[in-house]
Chains A and B, each alone.
Chain A
Amino acid sequence: MASNEIIMGMAASTLGTPVADASDLTLGPSGTAYETVIGLEVHVELATKSKLFCSCANESGAEQNTHVCPACCGMPGMLPVTNKRVVELGMTAGMMLHCHINRTTTFDKKSYYYPDLPCSYQVTQWFAPICVNGSVHIETSKGGKDIRIKQIHMEEDAGKLVHSAWTNTTMVDFNRTSVPLCEIVSQPDMRSAEDVVAYLERLRALLRFAKVSECRFERGTMRCDVNLSVRPAGSDALGVRTEMKNMNSISAIERAIAYEVKRHIDAIETGSEELVQETRGWDDEKGVSFSMRNKETAADYRYFPDPNIMPVVIDDAWYASVEAALPDFPEVVRARYIDELGLSEYDADILSGSRACSDVFNAAYAVCGQAKETANWIISNCLGFLNRKQLTADELDIDGTALGKLIKLVADGTVSSANAKRILAALFDGETDPEAYAKRSGLIIGEGADDLVPGVIAKVLAANAADVEAYRGGREKALQPLIGKCMKELRGNCDPKALRQQIIDAINAG
């Protein structure tokens, strides 16, 4: 039985910081080498159906204020009731990132005024976050290292503001208010943009694999604030830290880091500006960061426990059920595909690269037992299909068992591979029984077709005497148009090898 003691994430000042790689250092104008110290706060939108504290739909892209209730638009009277799935995804994220899960976790109010915050407070976790003290392993050109996670906590998202310069107004959409987020706070263990990119990509892969979040920067389901400071190489003390927000893509983050490091070093060496601890926005178009500081001093958020929300106590049974539902880590899946199933590294990379693909592969393989075939079907046919629709591998949404059945039907000779592609299209439409579909659509080889074949062959031979003569004369290739025409007549419902032989027999006989 795990202890109920609440553990907080380690404070950065108590940590021994990893030593920088010489190639991570940046030279200032004076020739001094500087080390960049970076910590990230990543927010991911959790993949739940409803919001964190009310039952409005958690769906992006909807028309403004259509997923809103009195609670999430700041009207009085509705009380918050915690979404169980949010806690489970918080636990899942913590387990994927090797965190300690606090078995008693609570929610607190954080107060400030902004039009996208309907109650003028956000419910978050300050006193007892759900997960603490984890780590993420990254590999870069400098080798491998662990980036430590300070904590993960659950909190509500705010609404969206739409600014209209021509009416000089701002419009408020509360659809996104109270959408559940996990905030993942790292220790300041990153030393370069390369570290940051590797960390974000790894985080994204793990959280997508565990279906915690779709983690897409361009849809705002993954956001990142960068905390950055510089210090002379070899120094132990941390420099002035600035926080950067509003980078909309990983490449924007890289540009922002490069700019900000230079700005810090310039400020330190030339005194061109004063370096203050502040929040800065990133303007990707202009390629500059700008101060977002208020004229007043930083607000005190006045955290206190939300009296309407009871503590969430995670007992052993609940913990075990979430642990049991964890997927294998992607690299474990990849290794199994290569070592046990004999797939190529290329195939294994793709299949283990997304939860959707590996789920479909695993289900299909379980039915048909043919690893290479299944891999080909997914990589060539399925992903090709998605590609044409400009969808990514993560969006593969077909029934894996059905795919396995389809592969078996082709292997059995029940269905030709040409027609199998038609059936695959049906699977993308939600079909789960390929055999039934094939029957309905008359795509089964030999179903009544045996009677048809001799008649069709006779008809085609009679209509193509020239090709028949050419074949009799020794031209093998003349067989091909005959086969093709018979196939067309039979609508592909035949075994090509058997058909070829039957045509040859018919030519020889007549």
Chain B
Amino acid sequence: MDKDSLKGLERLNQLALTPQQVDDTLAFFQLRQAEWDALAGIDTSDVERMVHVAPMETVVREDVVSEPFDRDELLEGAPDAMDGYWQVPYVLE
């Protein structure tokens, strides 16, 4: 991981780091890489990945509509709302 790639990550995650934060982050990446590399001796090629620690199958719900939430309540904490919409700067599509 280098500063240029990190810039790409910042953009993707909508963040802007200070130079100090960049240095600290690069150091963090290195530590994590080192501790991960230390496990290189463990062969996982024949090990099935485990997505769920308490696995179940087919957890589904019936196609039923529930009581709607109150729009005013949902919009109460909105930084900018208008006419029942959340509002943001003009987005060119």
Contacts and interface: CB of A to CB of B under 8 A. Distances in A.
Contacts of B85: 64-65, 162, 171-173
B14 A113 contact: yes
Contacts of A313: 57-58
Contact of A170 (B57, B68, B71, B91): B91
B89 A84 contact: no
A83 B62 CA distance: 6
Interface string A419-446: 0000000000000000000000000000
B63 A49 contact: yes
A171 B87 contact: yes
Nearest to B84: A64
Given A56-B68, A65-B74, A310 B56 contact: yes
Contacts of A162: 85
A67 interface: yes
Contacts of A73: 74, 86
Interface residues of A, number: 53
B31 interface: no
A50 B65 contact: yes
Contacts of B68: 56-57, 66-69
B61 A83 contact: yes
Nearest to A75: B74
Contacts of B83: 64, 171
B64 A55 contact: yes
A239 to B, nearest CB: 27
A363 B55 CA distance: 45
Contact of B66 (A56, A171, A296): A56
A456 interface: no
B53 to A, nearest CB: 9
A310 B65 CA distance: 22
A56 B61 CA distance: 13
Interface in B34-93: 51-52, 55-66, 68-69, 71, 74-75, 82-91, 93
Contact of A49 (B64, B82, B88, B91): B64
Contacts, number: 124
B1 interface: no
A83 B86 CA distance: 27
B7 to A, nearest CB: 10
Contact of B61 (A84, A115, A164, A173): A84
Nearest to A113: B14
A67 B93 CA distance: 25
B65 A49 contact: yes
A65 B63 CA distance: 20
Contact of B12 (A174, A299, A311): A299
B52 A310 contact: yes
Contacts of A314: 58
Interface in A185-220: none
A297 B56 CA distance: 39
A169 B89 contact: yes
B70 to A, nearest CB: 9
Nearest to A163: B90
Contacts of A57: 65, 68
Nearest to B53: A307
B91 A163 contact: yes
Given A296-B11, A310-B59, A311-B57, A115 B66 contact: no
Interface of A: 48-50, 55-58, 63-70, 73, 75, 81-87, 106, 113, 115, 161-165, 167-174, 281, 296-297, 299-300, 305, 307, 309-314
21 contacts: A49-B65, A55-B61, A56-B66, A64-B85, A65-B84, A68-B71, A75-B74, A81-B61, A86-B63, A106-B51, A113-B14, A163-B91, A168-B90, A170-B88, A170-B90, A296-B11, A299-B12, A307-B51, A307-B52, A310-B58, A313-B58
Interface of B: 8, 11-12, 14, 51-52, 55-66, 68-69, 71, 74-75, 82-91, 93
The 5 closest A-B pairs by CB, nearest first: A171-B85, A85-B63, A55-B66, A84-B60, A172-B86
